[in-house]
Amino acid sequence: MIPVPLLVCVMGVWCAVYLADTLLRSSVTHRISYESWLASRGLMLSPFHLRWQTTMFNRLFAYCARINPRAQYLWFNSGLVFGVVAMVGSVVLLTQTLQQTLAQMTTDNPRIGSQQALQVVVPGVNLPTSQLAYFFIALLLSGVIHELGHAVAALREQVRVNGFGIFVFVVYPGAFVDLFTTHLNIISPAQQLRIFCAGVWHNFVLCVAALAFLFLLPLFLFPMYSTGGGALVTEVVQGSAADGPRGLSVGDIVTGLEDCPVRGVDDWSSCLSRISLTPQTGYCVPSASLQPSWAHGRAFKRLDGTMDCCSNNSLTDLCFSYMKPQGKNSREYACMPVRKMVTGTRVCHTNNDCAARSHAASICVTPSLENQTRFIRVTHPPNTHMLFVGYPPHLQYAVSLTNFLPRFGFLHLDLPVFLETFCKYPFMFKVQYVVSLSGALAVVNSVPCFALDGQWMLNALLEATLVTVVTDRQKRELIGFCLLLAGSALLAANVALGLWMVTAR
């Protein structure tokens, strides 16, 4: 569901702005001065929409359009080819996404949803409020780069740029360029196509640039931050399983999960995934430590069929199962103090593993837990192990980590996190920001849909390719209209079902 406080806040701000605008426009004494003030600053206000337009960047666009004309000719022709390919690819991708959404609606399998390349993003619902700043800045940056491509391409084709602007629609920021329509209509379809494809082309280039920066980030930060020495804790969710006096703290370096070494965030995720999918690990403890008094608790079955032998709900004891080396082939159960039993012990799966690694008589004891629940020792020196009992994904969601370990104490832990997170948002295929959002703009704007770049790209493409095959202009326009109608329906279906999946579930 959409968070009510966020919705009330957004509605309240827009209602206050629109009420103030209405009062000033209806005022006899302030109307003229207010409208003059808006016009002089290029501001336009309508319900849930604020727009600002200026000509101050026109000289910058003109300067960019004059840089190395030959290279720019090849650059924007490459954009033309990419735009045509992206238009076809976006239809294929949206069709695939629609099929996956429909399949997800009819099944409870969460893996289908995680396989979707595109997903509707609703702030406060499937986008954490803590990441709204990253999201909106990356969205605005992607929009500005997109419109910069249109502006420079237009000036190269002798189309006048009337101005550049930024807008806010509800909560989403964006950018636009105002082109002189008369100039745009008299140039050739190929020239039009270069202009219309320039936006999605520059979004794609921004994706590649952000990915390259993300890939080279360890090299750029090498003088200040090191990698490969573990995963640094940057945040622990308050009240979670990882919180507490003997839990993890901001600044801790995790180097292992059981016998799985952790050199970075990817290792942390893969180790947790492996632990989730494999049987519970056992621990080699000396046979003499299995004192009979600990085994007096009577074992009983849980509802899921697993065994328990600790009936006092102790926070320090845990039920362990083991096989006696010279006894019958049956399992014994003992309720033992967990930290004392597993501190400094080796992992095992059978008694033979313990015999091969230790000269003293040892037994492999295994925590007797409910299905899907795991006991995990988290190594974060110089502190003692953090002991976790629960569902492994809960541990993953409770802790935020980074690969970058500061070399000096005065360095901030969050700088690499900020750079990583922000760079990921320019794609918004389901990677994350500059990569995530710019990629999404490239895909969505390429769709042959009314009011998007894809509409003008399709019209120019049909005029450039079908003029000799379909000589009647009205028939070409009819073909274009039908294709646009189909593309608009495809995009609308994806957005509508995507919103329903995000907000209703």
Q: Which residues contact 374 (CB under 8 A, 6 or more apart)?
A: 275, 276, 280, 388, 389, 390, 391, 392
Q: Report CA torsion sign: 394, 398, 404, 409.
A: negative
172 touches 209 (CB < 8 A):
no
499 touches 1 (CB < 8 A):
no
257 touches 270 (CB < 8 A):
no
E-strand ranges in 28-159 read 43-46, 49-54
Q: Which two tokens stand for residue 139?
A: 């969205």
Q: Which two tokens stand for residue 483?
A: 């294709």
Tokens 């952790």 -> residue = 262
Cβ neighbours around 110 below 10 Å, total: 9
Q: Is the peptide bond before 416 cis (omega within 30 degrees of 0)?
A: no
Cβ neighbours around 41 below 10 Å, total: 10
Classify residue 239 as left (phi > 0), alpha (psi -120 to 50) or beta: left
Distance between CA atoms of residues 399 and 422, nearest Å: 19
Nearest CA to 423 out of 179, 200, 207, 118 is that of 207
Tokens 């033309």 -> residue = 80
Name the 3-class secondary structure at 334: strand
Distance between CA atoms of residues 190 and 156, nearest Å: 13
- Residue 432: its pLDDT value, please? 41
Q: Which two tokens stand for residue 348?
A: 């095992």
User: Could you say which of 35, 147, 420, 463 is catalytic?
Assistant: 147
353 touches 344 (CB < 8 A):
no
Mean pLDDT per 10-residue run, the chain (505 residues)?
Answer: 77 93 92 94 92 95 95 96 95 91 75 61 74 84 94 96 94 93 95 96 90 91 94 92 90 93 94 92 82 57 80 77 72 84 84 75 86 91 91 92 93 89 58 59 89 94 91 93 96 89 72
- Residue 358: its pLDDT value, please? 64
How many helices (H) and strands (E) are present in the chain, helices listed first?
16, 22
Angle at the Cα of 385 from the Cα atoms of 381 and 389, rounded to 5 degrees: 145
User: DSSP label at 184?
Assistant: H
Amino acid at 113: G
The verdict on whether 157 is a catalytic residue reads no
332 touches 290 (CB < 8 A):
no
196 touches 87 (CB < 8 A):
no
436 touches 444 (CB < 8 A):
no
DSSP-H helix ranges across 174-221: 181-186, 189-220
136 touches 121 (CB < 8 A):
no
Name the 3-class secondary structure at 384: coil
Q: Report CA torsion sign: 441, 446, 449, 451.
A: positive
